[in-house]
């Protein structure tokens, strides 16, 4: 894999791959036209899904629409995988690589009023994480690639996943035999992000921070107040980079800021430790100190218990110390394969407007995405696709009350990722 990508880089930089570039461009132009032709029908599907949102594990209507659409395209369709999961299988005209594309289908509970004209008709439920758009883009890719069938070498698997919001859908589909049904060599997927419509963001390795709760157990201690302030001083001493002032939303809103956000090389979201609070509690005879935090570096996550333990053992509380361990893990970061990230970025850059492909230099805090469970089985890349349009007052920051999506991003998503999948399937 490594040698291949070095060769590819060498060929790209020396221009020997011109014929390949021309081929990429002509494939892309064809895909662009095919996407334009179905765009208005995709907007209709998206709005229908938006009007009829379904909570995690209840995506019956959505999965029925997905399965019908895929069957109409002539794909082999499997349903009820891990709940309401659907898989569509598109076999190309020739043998090649097998590529999977994943979309999620569920919506979220919220009482905030809808901000679009095509309002949710299911009280208290809305698509404020953009999964209606993800589902629509995946259907669009399936449509375009089924028109490219003769050109396609290999097989494309479309995974429509339920229950992403509860972090159970990917696990349930895998436990229900997903990888007996499909055998992908690579897997890809996307989430709507706050950048401008059509901007594709990508980053190797972790996309989000690790989120954990560390628990230290002490013997019954007479001076709990003193112990608590001692432990608070230790964990506060670990804080780095991001200011602790303000609520999590104040921090999250900065992730799309051009000066300090994720797309700036000088981003504040690189190499940080955010403390979410430390507290001493007493349960029966034991005293516990719990500290919840976000940390970007897995090596630091692994070494922290040892560092903290050392500081306790060097203090007057050493005789009270019993144990230290991670009691809770809320981490949910996709782990993008570095080689595939590089190859996918070069492939997209070969046909897509350069300024529309923006690398990320940091890791967003507070977010999670269960795409990581597929990446534990198959190497893959998870992208962000911008959906904002400041001029139209549309801000696509997931899970915010005013979340909305500029629907032009459906077109950008379908054309660029259909082209990427085609190139990856046909690559040797
Ligand atoms: Zn989401």
pLDDT in tens, 194-244: 999 999 999 999 999 999 999 999 998 668 899 999 999 999 999 887 766
CA 371 – ligand 1 centroid, Å: 10
The pLDDT score that the predictor gives to residue 376 is 97
Residue 11 pLDDT greater than 90, yes or no: no
Q: What is the mean pLDDT of residues 10-18?
A: 42
Q: What is the mean pLDDT of residues 94-117?
A: 96
At 174, the pLDDT band (50, 70, 90 cuts) reads very high
User: In this structure, which residues have their CB less than 5 angstroms from ion ligand 1?
Assistant: 129
CA 190 – ligand 1 centroid, Å: 9
CA 106 – ligand 1 centroid, Å: 8
Tokens standing for 67? 């399965």
Pairing of strands 200-202, 357-359: parallel
258: number of Cβ within 10 Å: 8
CA 332 – ligand 1 centroid, Å: 12
CA 130 – ligand 1 centroid, Å: 6
Residue 27 pLDDT greater than 90, yes or no: no
Q: What is the dihedral of CA 252, 258, 264, 267, to 10 degrees?
A: -40
Q: What is the mean pLDDT of residues 180-195?
A: 97
At 146, the pLDDT band (50, 70, 90 cuts) reads very high
DSSP per-residue letters across 85-109: EEEEEEE-SEEEEEEEEEEE--BEE
> Is the pTM higher than 0.85?
yes
pLDDT in tens, 332-390: 999 999 999 999 999 999 998 878 999 999 999 999 999 999 999 999 999 999 999 99
Helix (H) / strand (E) element for 387: namely: strand 380-388
CA 416 – ligand 1 centroid, Å: 20
At 92, the pLDDT band (50, 70, 90 cuts) reads very high
The pLDDT score that the predictor gives to residue 20 is 58
What's the Rg (C-alpha) of the chain?
23
Tokens standing for 41? 């029908």
Give the 3-state secondary structure percentages of the chain, helix then strand then coil, rounded to 5: 40, 25, 35
- Contact partners, residue 63, CB within 8 Å, separation at least 6: 79, 84, 85, 86, 105, 160, 162
Residue 8 pLDDT greater than 80, yes or no: no
Domains of the chain (ranges plus CATH)?
2-206+338-426 (3.40.630.10), 210-329 (3.30.70.260)
CA 71 – ligand 1 centroid, Å: 26
CA 369 – ligand 1 centroid, Å: 7
The pLDDT score that the predictor gives to residue 244 is 60
The pLDDT score that the predictor gives to residue 250 is 80
CA 51 – ligand 1 centroid, Å: 17
SS (H, E, C) 270-325: CCCEEEEEEEEEEECCEEEEEEEEEECCHHHHHHHHHHHHHHHHCCCCCCCEEEEE
Q: What is the mean pLDDT of residues 288-301?
A: 95
CA 203 – ligand 1 centroid, Å: 18
């Amino acid at each position: 894999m490594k040698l291949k990508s070095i060769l590819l880089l060498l060929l790209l930089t020396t221009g020997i791959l011109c014929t390949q570039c021309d081929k990429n461009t002509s494939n892309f132009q064809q895909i662009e036209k095919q996407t334009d032709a179905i765009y208005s029908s995709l907007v209709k599907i998206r709005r229908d899904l938006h009007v009829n949102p379904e909570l995690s594990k209840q995506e019956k209507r959505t999965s029925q629409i997905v399965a019908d659409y895929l069957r109409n395209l002539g794909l082999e369709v499997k349903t009820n995988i891990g709940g309401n999961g659907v898989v569509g299988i598109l076999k190309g005209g020739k043998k090649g690589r097998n590529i999977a594309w994943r979309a999620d289908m569920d919506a979220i509970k919220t009482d905030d009023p809808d901000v679009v004209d095509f309002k949710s008709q299911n009280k208290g439920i809305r698509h404020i994480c953009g999964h209606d758009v993800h589902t629509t883009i995946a259907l669009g890719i399936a449509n375009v690639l089924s028109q490219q069938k003769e050109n396609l070498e290999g097989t494309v698997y479309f995974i429509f996943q339920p229950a992403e919001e509860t972090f159970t859908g990917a696990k349930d589909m895998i436990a229900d035999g997903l990888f007996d049904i499909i055998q992908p060599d690579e897997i890809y997927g996307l989430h709507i992000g706050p950048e401008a419509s059509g901007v594709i963001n990508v980053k190797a390795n972790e996309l989000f921070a690790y989120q954990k709760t560390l628990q230290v157990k002490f013997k019954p201690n007479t001076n709990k107040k003193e112990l608590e302030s001692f432990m608070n001083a230790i964990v506060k001493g670990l804080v780095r980079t991001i200011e602790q002032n303000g609520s999590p939303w104040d921090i999250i809103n900065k992730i799309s800021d051009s000066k300090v956000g994720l797309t700036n090389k000088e981003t504040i979201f690189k190499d940080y430790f955010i403390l979410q609070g430390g507290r001493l509690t007493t349960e029966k005879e034991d005293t516990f100190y719990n500290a919840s935090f976000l940390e970007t570096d897995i090596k630091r996550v692994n070494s922290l218990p040892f560092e903290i333990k050392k500081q306790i053992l060097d203090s007057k509380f050493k005789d009270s110390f019993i144990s230290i361990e991670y009691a809770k893990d809320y981490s949910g970061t996709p782990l993008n394969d570095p080689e595939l990230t590089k190859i996918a970025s070069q492939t997209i850059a070969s046909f897509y407007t350069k300024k529309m492909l923006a690398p990320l230099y940091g890791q967003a805090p507070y977010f999670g995405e269960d795409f990581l469970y597929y990446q534990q089985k198959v190497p893959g890349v998870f992208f962000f696709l911008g959906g904002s349009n400041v001029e139209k007052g549309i801000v696509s920051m997931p899970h915010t009350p005013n979340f909305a999506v500029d629907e032009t991003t459906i077109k950008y998503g379908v054309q660029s990722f259909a082209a990427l999948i085609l190139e990856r399937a046909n690559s040797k």
